[in-house]
Amino acid sequence: MIKLENISFDHCIKCTVCTIYCPVARATHLFPGPKQSGPDAERLRIKNPELVDASLKYCTNCKRCEIACPSDVKIAEIIQNAKWNYLKINRFRPRDWFMSRTDFVGSIATRLSLMTNFVLKLRAVRVFMYLLLRIPYRRAFPNYERSTFENMFRKKIAPSQRDYEKRVVYFHGCFVNYNDHSLGKDFVKVMNAMNYGVDIMKEKCCGVPLIANGYIEKARKNAVYNIKSLQRAEQGKRIVTTSSSCAYALKYEYSSFLKLNNSGIIERTDHSTRFISEEFSLGNVPKMKRLGIRAAYHSPCHLECMGGVMHTLNVLKMVPALDLVVLNSECCGIAGTYGFKNENYAISQSVGSRLFAMIDDAHPEFVITDCETCKMQIEMNTSYRVLHPVTVIAMALKEE
């Protein structure tokens, strides 16, 4: 029987516009492109699930096909579903298992941070990882912090947050938790300057890497945990993230892909720049000094998908003396854990090459982007430091 759950593929008029905008199809002919892998093949798969083909694994789930589609077909969703419903995946995948367990790996790595950071730079270790775990030798890894952001926040920051009447819940995500406390601190600084106190709730990885690697059950578990935990935040309190992909998962993928009820949080969850932009337009603009820097802005795929780019731009345009070059929208190629795999490394680099060239042409001092993995990819491939929009505001804040 044909299930009528997602028949949006029937709206496909075969115009192939999605394939124009597919960064993977541009980089390799091994991927036949979203039209063929999505709506075209879906007809066949519905008839016979065995007609699924292995090229689906090349899809990065960047969702640019959905953005491009004139007929509103949920192309990426079709491909993701097909990938995990039909594709016979090898259960023994140690690399993918470790890579997608950001919480598990992160909590160990932060405990042993000195050693982890040292070891990950050793050539022998990298050769070992290349050969055994099939992780690209050249891929740069982020450093690990010495403790989790959560612990640090509870010890050092939480007490100072009690005085604020208005408060937001900060969903910090794994990257801030294990790899980059400074972004979390910047966020708190900016919120405080706008008279908001910051709370954090218990959270687990939002599930983006789990979904990307096919651990759907585990992703669903995490999602249920997060929804439950975030729902406990008082009514009316906004939930804010500094990671565009976390926001995308919390708001959209929990319901559309994992089929969970996230109605209790969807309306009040937002990416940080959207919250800040709304506050700015209400007149709640902190005092900022002239920054005097030139920066290039790269819009991450998942932010674009949420229509969030206008908020980030609105926020950045309010920063005095920030000379902003908005880059043409291009995928950076890393797509979360995708670019951390040997078999995808060349594609990932090739996808990003257009962006790297544009960045160089813009002659910036910094690059600005909302996404942590875009940041890793750009920092590895260009000579520029990458800042989060929130960090840019924090830099511009006038010291009291």
Partner 1 sequence: MKYDALIIGGGLAGLTCGIRCAAAGLKTAILSGGMNSLHFSSGSIDLMGYDDEGELVKKPFDQVKKICRARRDHPYAKAGLATVKKAMEFFIETTSKTGLTMNHNGDMNHFHITGLGALKPTYLSQESVFSPRGHDILNSGEKIAVMNFSGFRDYYPEQTVAYLKKNRIFAGRDIVLAEISLPWYMDTQKNLHEFRSIDLARIFDTAKYLPRIAEEIRRAAGDAAAVSLPAFLGIKNYRTIRKRLEDMTGKFIYEIPTLPPSILGLRIDQALKESFIGYGGEFIANERAESGPVDSGLLEHVNTRNSGREPVSSKYYVLSTGSFFSGGLASNSQRITEPVFNFKVDADTKRSKWYSWFFFDAKSHPFLSYGVRTDKNFNPVNEKGNTVKNVFCAGAVLSGYDPVREGCGGGVAITSGFACAEKIIGELKK
Residue type, 343: E
What residues does 296 pair with on adjacent strands? 325, 367
Among 66, 96, 199, 253, contact with partner 1 (rule: CB under 8 A): 66
CA distance 324 to 313: 9
* Residue with smaller CB distance to partner 1, 114 or 310: 310
Which residues fall within 8 angstroms of residue 268, CB to CB, at 6 or more apart?
A: 236, 237, 238, 239
Residue 175 tokens, joined = 């990257």
Site string for partner 1, 86-125 (x = CB under 8 A): ----------------------------------------
256 or 314: whose CB is closer to partner 1? 314
Among the listed residues 350, 289, 294, 367, the one whose alpha carbon sits nearest the alpha carbon of residue 324:
294
CA dist., res. 211 & res. 217, Å (int): 9
Interface with partner 1, residue 15, by CB under 8 A:
yes
Candidate list 280, 338, 340, 356; residue touching partner 1; CB under 8 A? 280
Interatomic CA distance for residues 279 and 268, integer angstroms: 14
**Looking at 47, 49, 70, 361, which residue binds partner 1 (CB under 8 A)?**
70
Distance of alpha carbon 395 from alpha carbon 291, whole angstroms: 8
Q: Could you tell me how many residues make up the chain?
A: 400
Among 328, 383, 399, 400, binds partner 1 (CB under 8 A): 328
Closest CA to 343 of 132, 100, 58, 73: 58
326 binds partner 1 (CB under 8 A): yes
* Exposure string over 341-370, b if 16+ CB within 10 A, otherwise e: bbebbebbbebbebbbeebeebebebbbbb
277 or 344: whose CB is closer to partner 1? 277
Position among 43, 49, 50, 72 found at the interface with partner 1 (CB under 8 A): 72
Beta carbon nearer to partner 1, 176 or 295: 295
Q: Which stretch binds partner 1 (CB under 8 A): 81-89, 160-168, 303-311, 378-386?
A: 303-311
Residue 178 binding partner 1, by CB under 8 A: no
Q: Is 313 in the site for partner 1 (CB under 8 A)?
A: yes
- Binding residues for partner 1 restricted to 181-200, rule: CB under 8 A: none
CA atoms within 13 A on the CB side of 376: 20
Q: Point out which residues bind partner 1 (CB under 8 A).
A: 15-17, 19-21, 25-26, 28-30, 32-33, 36, 66-72, 267, 277-278, 280-281, 304-311, 313-314, 326, 328-329
